[in-house]
Amino acid sequence: MVKLKVRAVGTSAGVILPKEALAHLGVHEGDDLYLVETQDGYQITPFDPEFEKQLESARKGMDAYKNTLRELAK
């Protein structure tokens, strides 16, 4: 567990993530992070949940039209 302190950043508030947490998340300065509400609370992730939904829709479409896409790729 990592304890974070909320600090003033201009007229907003923010937290500083330690190097170890950044490395674990695989992010660097300037990358986007998403705060996702889950059943257990909140989760910080570098993955855009909206993109994940779009990707799942694309996978379903590719599965449904696998043969057609294969023919078009020739």
* Residue range 10-69, pLDDT digits in tens: 999 999 999 999 999 999 999 999 999 999 999 999 988 888 778 888 888 888 888 888
According to DSSP, the residues that pair with 44 across neighbouring strands are 35
Count of all residues that appear for the chain in the document: 74
The answer to whether 2 and 16 have CB atoms below 8 angstroms apart is no
pTM beyond 0.75, yes or no: no
Domain locations in the chain? 7-72
CA distance 17 to 35: 14
pLDDT given for residue 8 in this prediction: 95
pLDDT at site 74: 84
Residue 1's pLDDT band (cuts 50, 70, 90)? confident
Single-letter amino acid code for the residue at 56: E
* pLDDT for the residue 61: 86
Sign of torsion, CA 13 19 21 25? positive
Distance (Å, whole) CA 70 – CA 53: 24
